[in-house]
Chain A
Amino acid sequence: MEEKEILSGLKSGNREAFKNLVNAYSDRVYITALGFLRNPEDAEDISQEVFIEVFNSIGKFKGDSKLATWIYRITINKSLDFLKKRKSKKRFAFVTSIFSKEGAAEDIPDFEHPGVLMENKERAKVLFSAISKLPDSQKTAFTLNKIEDLTYKEISDIMDTSVSSVESLIYRAKENLKKLLNNFYQNLN
């Protein structure tokens, strides 16, 4: 099914069109969510929420961007919202742990991305942990570039910003990552 057919099918609530949409975009949505959330179950949960949002909000899609761009935006927003909720849960758990004998909630264990080459797995774990500490905009730009392999132009469309802003975000992300990694490796030995 062509994108136009999918769009008009979705707008009339056609399930077949929706199925085609899910099949066409499920991998991209899942990979993007996985890059942000570092947890396959959470990524799958968010993927479901993304497609439900697409189904329910298709009437709001004006067509001034590509469908893929719109879906990426929903994925990123839902992923970042999930991360914020996860962070506040951790903070709450930390506060309650002060009054509890059980101790603080555990951090998310090291994340092994299923697509990373075997020889890079340990370093990739460290890198994902560092990426999670970046500000949202740098995290988004870096993740879309490094994991999704999107061009700066594609990223600028998704983030609704200029190409030069994307370049700047990725540059700053790399500089911050170098600092975080330097701290990590200095303290390691």
Chain B
Amino acid sequence: MEERNKDIEKEIDLTLESLDGINSAKANPSLYEKIINRMETRKRANYNPKLKYALIITLLVLINLFTFIYFSNGSNEATAGSDEIKDTFKNEYSLTISTYNY
């Protein structure tokens, strides 16, 4: 048991020293080009959002306007139609408002 613990302690020390003499890693030689690429891509992406949102809002306003106009015309037509039906009904059945002297 003691022997094992000594072995483990030795292994721990060796592990802690395993980064000694570490050589430098090198960055990608084309890092600069990649950075510029990324910056340009972000610039292009940022250009559109305001225009995009303006278009979406305009579209929504137009849709609402169109819907409003359509249903407004539609209800006038419906009213006109129902007036016609009433008149036809009245004429056919000679319905008038009359007062009787009871």
Q: Mark B40-78, 1 if CB is under 8 A from A, else 0.
A: 000000000000000000000000000000000000000
**Contact across chains for A147 and B8 when beta carbons are under 8 A apart:** no
Check A44/B27 contact, CB under 8 A, given A52-B39, A185-B11. Answer: yes
**Contact across chains for B35 and A22 when beta carbons are under 8 A apart:** yes
How many A-B residue pairs lie within 8 Å, measured between CB atoms? 93
**Contact across chains for B26 and A30 when beta carbons are under 8 A apart:** yes
Interface size on B, residues (CB 8 A): 26
Check A52/B26 contact, CB under 8 A, given A178-B16, A185-B11. Answer: no
Selected from B18, B21, B26, the residue in CB contact (under 8 A) with A127 is: B18
Can you show 25 pairs from A to B with CB atoms below 8 A apart?
A22-B31, A22-B32, A23-B32, A26-B32, A27-B24, A27-B26, A30-B25, A30-B31, A31-B24, A48-B34, A52-B39, A113-B19, A113-B25, A114-B25, A116-B22, A117-B21, A120-B17, A120-B18, A127-B15, A127-B19, A130-B15, A146-B22, A147-B19, A181-B15, A182-B12
Q: Mark A26-50, 1 if CB is under 8 A from B, else 0.
A: 1101110010000000001001100
List chain B residues, Cβ under 8 A from A163.
Answer: none
Q: Mark A109-120, 1 if CB is under 8 A from B, else 0.
A: 000011111001
**Contact across chains for A19 and B32 when beta carbons are under 8 A apart:** yes
Cβ-based interface call for B23 (8 A): yes
List chain A residues, Cβ under 8 A from B16.
Answer: 127, 174, 177-178, 181
Interface residues of A (CB under 8 A from B): 15, 19, 22-23, 26-27, 29-31, 34, 44, 47-48, 51-52, 55, 113-117, 120, 123-124, 126-127, 130, 146-147, 174, 177-178, 181-182, 185-186, 189
Could you tell me the dominant secondary structure of chain A's interface residues? helix
